[in-house]
Amino acid sequence: MNSKYLEMDGVLDQLEAAIREQRPFSLVRVGDGENIVMSQETVWTTEQVLQERWAIKANLGQKGLTLPNLQLRDEVAASLQRADLVGVLPYGDSSIKAPDHLKRPLTDMLFAHFGISPALTCHACVNRELAQTPRFWEMLAGKRILLVTRELEALHNMLEREPYHLNIAAALPFDRWEQMGETLQWIQTNPDAFDVALFCCGVNAVVLAERTAALAGKVAIDFGKANNIILKGRAN
């Protein structure tokens, strides 16, 4: 991967400039779930994919998607090719609990398979750090925020209060892949309703964030489990 790696200040600089200049910008992330979705019938057989604990949980309704899903595989890969900033796990990472074979080595295999070569990368857990960085919340102050998540009411209420004080201009419930079409339809139809979009909806957020930047011309962030940090004070 021949990309420029940004530390936290660099990520914040990119987001801040895009918000200020009102231009599209997507931040997406690749963890074990994204790797598993992209592995279907590419670097692994479907049988191998379905044996993974993450896939078993997904098929029990815990991940917002069920497998196999080759359409989502292709959409995730396409969004990673087009996204402005892609979070990847560093080699030897221990910040997520997944087994090592689901981490960066698998990402590298998949990026090679799909020809994904992001210009800019950062840490895949950047969302957790953003959630705990005052500068991030300050740059969102006064902006109209679109919130898309399963835990809509709780997160919406929390983000409007201390210390966040966000203006949640629109909020869409999202807890499964089947809602992708209608959600993107709303976003494309209402681009003037918001300035920045935050997505907390698992692997689906990769596609939603990249497509939102493209379709609505806005800053869109795959915010992942940052909702857990905001609601519970921890990532898991």
pLDDT in tens, 94-108: 999 999 999 999 999
Does the reported pTM lie above 0.95?
yes
The pLDDT tens digits of the residues spanning 199-227 come to: 999 999 999 999 999 999 999 999 998 88
Report, as ranges of residue numbers, the positions in the chain whose pLDDT lies below 70: 1, 235-236
Spatial distance between the Cα atoms of 37 and 74, rounded to a whole number of angstroms: 9
Task: Please tell me whether residue 7 adopts helix, strand or coil conformation.
Answer: coil
Q: What is the pLDDT of residue 232?
A: 86
Spatial distance between the Cα atoms of 115 and 78, rounded to a whole number of angstroms: 10
Q: What is the pLDDT of residue 2?
A: 75
Q: Where are the alpha helices (DSSP H) in the chain?
A: 8-21, 32-39, 46-51, 53-59, 70-82, 104-114, 126-131, 134-140, 152-159, 180-189, 204-216, 226-232
